[in-house]
Amino acid sequence: MSQLSISLVVFVLVSVSLVDADPKVHKLDLNSSQQVVDTTSFVQIADNDEPGVRLEVYGTVYKSDGVTPAAGIQVHVYHTDATGKYGREGDPQGTTRLNGDMVTGESGEYRFTTIKPASYPGTTAPAHIHYRITVPGKEGVTWFALEFADDAHISESKRKKEKEKGRFSSIIELTENGDGLTGTFNLKLDG
């Protein structure tokens, strides 16, 4: 079956397994897998009552040529909450409660809504969103980290390096959209 002819998407998430009964809470576990069925190119990660500034991120995943959209790509994202924590007090180590799964559409598009994450408490690490990309039929996963241009914790050398990547920079500008912030993060797959 070709990658483009898959009508029901079933895939293995190499490094995530569910924790407790809450379907939005995951515990990172590199030795287990979890099947996700019928995933779309859009997911709402943070509930409307989650504290923080609303954020919408959208983009396109491209094949290694940087021009051809890549349909059917599995995108898993996760991030901290507005206080810089992945889980709540008492959650097992490695719990990520703000996360979601998408599969890119015919034009390689994906989109999610959430809240803007905060930097880890007591650190100078930039606030970021983790992306784990899985290409069906290809061994392994690719990791990306999305960061925000207004974050003072991003070094000038990193800003310069990312600027050279043009539209595939991992540092994005955010704009106000009436309900919060919005930004575009395009990804280019490795060859």
CATH of domain 3-188: 2.60.130.10
pLDDT tens figures, 115-164 = 999 999 999 999 999 999 999 999 899 999 999 999 999 999 999 999 99
Domain range summary for the chain, segments of one domain joined by + = 3-188
Taking the model in full, what pTM does it have? Answer: 0.80
Q: How far apart are the first and last CA of the chain?
A: 21
Asked which of 25-29, 67-71, 98-102, 104-108 is least confident by mean pLDDT, the reply is: 25-29
The whole-chain average pLDDT of the chain stands at 83
DSSP string, 3-53: GGG-SS-EEEETTEEE-SS-TT-EEE-TT--EEEES--SEEE-S-TTSSS-
Please report, as a single letter, which amino acid is at residue 73. Answer: I
pLDDT for 26 beyond 80: no
CA–CA separation, 186 vs 191, rounded Å? 16
